[in-house]
């Protein structure tokens, strides 16, 4: 059912304590204390923020509401007392008065169509990675069940609304780091610790999801005879199970396959980053597009049409969806509808030749010969235009290739001069090896890159390049072994970019 809300809208209620701020120094006080940049919160909206202690540990979190330069803070029920203590702790000489807390029940309107049902006084923001609104009134929307809310929360890593999952923990180790903190913001209590951890190797343990084919118990996650994390809860989504886990950095690589055990039971899983369920309209449109094409192949045409149209609604510039739906309707001899879609495709993608080719075909089938010939002529014109564009692209590619070759020659000359002095220099060998990979010169690349790793086994990017060289030589199994080793090295150093790239190589 969650997809119904993700693609449309729904609502659920939450109980929060509200305090308001008054005084001349409210804005500066909040800016100096909170993890989020208050200036980035637009009037009429809310934002999840956290307050830390000087050691960077979370003392409380909640949603800050801004109305022009007036602020209200919505506090989870179980965090009320500690939140009030934290707010008053650093309130020394500032002109700030905090009101008595008042418990209120808010309706959360969530999903891409939520704005159609929001009251005039509703405040906008993000919950579960989705566009959302908070208001007192109930809307004319279907209500999510408690289990649906919990699952959506878990698969996006959102903190509980009542504070029941609160942990006194360094924020880098929590999902709140991504949801409630702005890295380049000015000073606030704990900022130095947070920045130091983030700019070095990152948190030792932090939250991810582990995708599995069966449910797993909670508890210590063991691999290679050592603890690599802790499983907190397991949720089913469609045909998969997802263990919410705090995982060691060495294994925290997107799509990394891991074998592990929990309470003596063994599992195979795939590491997945938050949020599993994206709120981005274009991402959801592509999800629907793939579902629609599956329905089309299975001759489930009503379902295919429904999902194609919804994909277009979520992403009105989705050219592939217009084209696919138009072709499907053309085969069903719904020619006028297909023509209308091809017109929209032509507006979305003015260079589309297929839009006019298909319109010509459908008009011909409708017996509208002059109109069909006109569209055929437009298709021909755009074909010539595309040929012209192709010629320009080839010319541009030639220029770029010449520029690239000149750059390679300069870099190679510099690196070879270094190797004349020190044949084992890792930077120079890596430079020549990576250039050779770019050129497709696999054997010289292999020689240079193996020399790098022999000199410095922790040179993470060299594993990525060496694997490519070995694959180019046809040594696929050796390439896989190098990438697997490189992932461990990269993850241990916190070099997640090469680790992710090597994992992507292994996935293909």
The pLDDT tens digits of the residues spanning 24-73 come to: 999 999 999 999 999 999 999 999 999 999 999 999 999 999 998 899 99
Pick the CATH number of 281-390 from 1.10.540.10, 1.10.10.10, 3.40.50.720, 1.25.40.10: 1.25.40.10
pLDDT at position 254 over 60: yes
Architecture category of domain 2-194 in CATH? 2-Layer Sandwich (3.30)
pLDDT at 158: 97
The pLDDT tens digits of the residues spanning 65-104 come to: 999 889 999 999 999 999 999 999 988 888 999 999 999 9
pLDDT at position 252 over 70: yes
Query: Which residue is listed with tokens 């109930």?
Result: 138
The Cα–Cα gap between 407 and 411 comes to 6
State the DSSP code for 144.
P
The Cα–Cα gap between 370 and 350 comes to 22
pLDDT category, 386, cuts 50, 70, 90?
Answer: low
What number is the average pLDDT over the span 5-20? 97
Task: Using alpha carbons, list the distances in angstroms from residue 118 to 2, 143, 181.
Answer: 20, 14, 27
Domain ranges for the chain, please list them. 2-194, 204-272, 281-390, 422-507
- Contact 130/12 with Cβ under 8 angstroms? no
Contacts of 190 (CB under 8 A, 6+ apart): 52, 53, 54, 55, 56, 57, 171
What residues does 130 pair with on adjacent strands?
127
CA atoms within 13 A on the CB side of 79: 29
The pLDDT tens digits of the residues spanning 404-439 come to: 888 878 888 888 998 899 989 999 999 999 999 999
* In the chain, % of residues over pLDDT 90: 75
The Cα–Cα gap between 464 and 443 comes to 15
Superfamily of domain covering 204-272: Aminomethyltransferase beta-barrel domains (2.40.30.110)
Query: Which residue is listed with tokens 């979520």?
Result: 314
Query: Which residue is listed with tokens 């770029």?
Result: 400
Same fold, 2-194 and 204-272: no
The pLDDT tens digits of the residues spanning 287-332 come to: 999 999 999 999 999 999 999 999 999 999 999 999 999 999 999 9
- Contact 482/463 with Cβ under 8 angstroms? yes
Architecture category of domain 422-507 in CATH? Alpha Horseshoe (1.25)
Question: Mean of the per-residue pLDDT values for the chain?
Answer: 92
pLDDT at position 15 over 60: yes
Q: Which residue has the higher pLDDT, 490 or 286?
A: 286
The candidate with the shortest Cα–Cα distance to 66, out of 15, 116, 26, is 26
The pLDDT tens digits of the residues spanning 205-227 come to: 999 999 999 999 999 999 877 89
The pLDDT tens digits of the residues spanning 487-502 come to: 888 878 777 678 878 8
pLDDT at position 166 over 70: yes
């Amino acid at each position: 059912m969650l997809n119904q809300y993700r693609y449309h809208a729904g609502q659920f209620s939450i109980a929060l304590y509200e305090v308001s701020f008054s005084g001349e120094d409210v804005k500066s006080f909040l800016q100096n204390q909170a993890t989020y940049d208050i200036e980035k919160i637009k009037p009429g909206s809310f934002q999840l923020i956290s307050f830390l202690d000087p050691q960077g540990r979370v003392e409380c979190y909640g949603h800050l509401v801004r109305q022009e330069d007036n602020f209200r803070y919505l506090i989870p029920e179980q965090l009320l007392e500690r939140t009030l203590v934290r707010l008053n702790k650093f309130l020394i000489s500032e002109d700030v008065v905090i009101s008595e807390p008042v418990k209120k029940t808010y309706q959360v309107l969530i999903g891409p169509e939520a704005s159609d049902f929001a009251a005039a006084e509703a405040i906008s923001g993000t919950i579960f990675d989705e566009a959302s609104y908070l208001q007192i009134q109930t809307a004319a929307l279907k209500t999510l069940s408690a289990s649906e809310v919990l699952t959506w929360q878990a698969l996006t890593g959102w903190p509980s609304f009542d504070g029941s999952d609160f942990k006194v923990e360094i924020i880098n180790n929590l999902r709140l780091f991504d949801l409630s903190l702005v890295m380049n913001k000015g000073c606030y209590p704990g900022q130095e610790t947070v920045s130091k951890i983030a700019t070095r190797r990152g948190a030792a343990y932090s939250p991810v999801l582990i995708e599995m084919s069966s449910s797993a118990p909670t508890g210590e996650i063991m691999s290679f005879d050592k603890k690599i994390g802790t499983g907190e809860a397991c949720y089913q989504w469609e045909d998969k199970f997802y263990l919410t886990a705090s995982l060691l950095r060495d294994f925290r690589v997107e799509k990394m396959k891991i074998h592990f055990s929990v309470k003596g039971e063994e599992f195979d899983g795939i590491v997945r980053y938050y949020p599993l369920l994206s709120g981005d309209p274009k991402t959801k449109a592509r999800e629907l597009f793939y579902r629609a094409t599956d329905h089309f192949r299975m001759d489930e045409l009503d379902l295919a049409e429904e999902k194609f149209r919804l994909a277009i609604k979520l992403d009105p510039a989705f050219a592939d969806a217009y084209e696919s739906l138009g072709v499907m309707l053309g085969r069903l001899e719904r020619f006028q509808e297909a023509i209308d879609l091809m017109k929209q495709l032509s507006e979305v993608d003015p260079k589309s030749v297929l839009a006019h080719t298909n319109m010509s075909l459908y008009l011909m089938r409708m017996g509208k010969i002059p109109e069909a010939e006109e569209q055929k002529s437009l298709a021909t014109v755009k074909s010539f235009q595309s040929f012209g564009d192709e010629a320009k692209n080839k010319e541009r590619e030639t220029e770029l290739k010449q520029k690239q070759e000149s750059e390679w020659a300069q870099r190679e000359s510099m690196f070879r001069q270094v190797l004349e002095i020190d044949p084992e220099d890792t930077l120079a060998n890596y430079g020549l090896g990576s250039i050779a990979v770019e050129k497709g010169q696999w054997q010289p690349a292999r020689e240079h890159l193996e020399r790098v790793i022999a000199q410095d086994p922790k040179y993470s990017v060299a594993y990525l390049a060496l694997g490519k060289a070995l694959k180019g030589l046809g040594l696929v199994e050796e390439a896989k072994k190098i990438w697997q080793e490189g992932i461990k090295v990269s993850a241990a150093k916190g070099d997640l970019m090469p680790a992710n790239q090597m994992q992507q190589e292994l996935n293909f």
